[in-house]
Amino acid sequence: MSRPKHPNKDIEIAVKYAEVNGWRYKKSGKSAHAWGRLLCVLENREGCSMAVWSTPRNPVKHAQQIKRKVDQCIHDGGLDE
Ligand SMILES: [Zn+2]
């Protein structure tokens, strides 16, 4: 449960939305532009992942992209694959 708070409030809200839906934060290694990644409940390669930028040009839009990705995830846990 230790992840850095996102500096942008809209994106922070989107990240919390993802977490509520079972997604996890993962620190991203190399890129300085990336704040981190969000990974869905499926803990393998087939799972969804979403790069979260530190300072996207349009934070509101980026926040919407995060929420959309979460909504599109079909790996809800307990669903048939
Ligand atoms: Zn997924």
Flag whether pLDDT at 71 surpasses 80: yes
Q: Is residue 55 part of a domain?
A: yes
pTM tops 0.85: yes
* DSSP reduced 3-state for 64: helix
Question: Which CA distances in Å does 69 have to 2, 6, 30, 35, 74?
Answer: 22, 18, 23, 17, 10
Helices 9-20 and 59-72 meet at what angle, rounded to 10?
10
Q: Which domain holds residue 30?
A: 9-72
Q: Is residue 13 part of a domain?
A: yes
When divided into structural domains, the chain yields a total of 1
Q: Is residue 2 part of a domain?
A: no
C-alpha 23 to ligand 1 mean position (Å): 9
| pLDDT level of residue 41 (50, 70, 90 thresholds) | very high
C-alpha 74 to ligand 1 mean position (Å): 5
C-alpha 49 to ligand 1 mean position (Å): 7
Q: Is residue 3 part of a domain?
A: no
Flag whether pLDDT at 79 surpasses 80: no
